[in-house]
Amino acid sequence: MNANKVILVTGTTSGFGRLTAETLARQGHTVYASMRQSNKKNLPAAQELMSLAEQEALNLSVVDLDVTDDASVTHAVEDIVQDAGRLDVVVNNAGVGSQSPLEAYTDEQIYQLFNTNVFGVLRVNRAALPSMRAQKDGLIIHVGSVLGRAAMPFFGLYSATKFALEGLIEAFNYELRLLSSGVEVSIVEPGAYPTEFGRKSIAASDQTHIQPYAPLLAQLSAMRGVVMGGNDAAPNPQEVADAIAQLIAMPAGSRPLRTVVAIAGQGEGAAILNQVSAQVVQTISSRLGLSAPGSPSSKTR
One digit per residue, the tens of pLDDT, for the chain of length 301 reads 458 999 999 999 999 999 999 999 999 999 999 999 999 999 999 999 999 999 999 999 999 999 999 999 999 999 999 999 999 999 999 999 988 899 999 999 999 999 999 999 999 999 999 999 999 999 999 999 999 999 988 899 999 999 999 999 999 999 999 999 999 999 999 988 887 766 778 888 888 888 888 878 777 666 555 554 444 567 899 999 999 999 999 999 999 999 999 877 777 888 888 888 888 888 887 887 776 666 566 677 7
CA distances from 61 to 49, 53, 226, 282 (A): 8, 8, 38, 41
Instruction: Count Cβ atoms within 10 A of the Cβ of residue 272 and give its class: 0-12 exposed, 13-18 middle, 19 or more buried.
Output: middle
pTM score: 0.90
Q: Considering the domain 6-300, what is its CATH architecture?
A: 3-Layer(aba) Sandwich (3.40)
Catalytic residues: 158
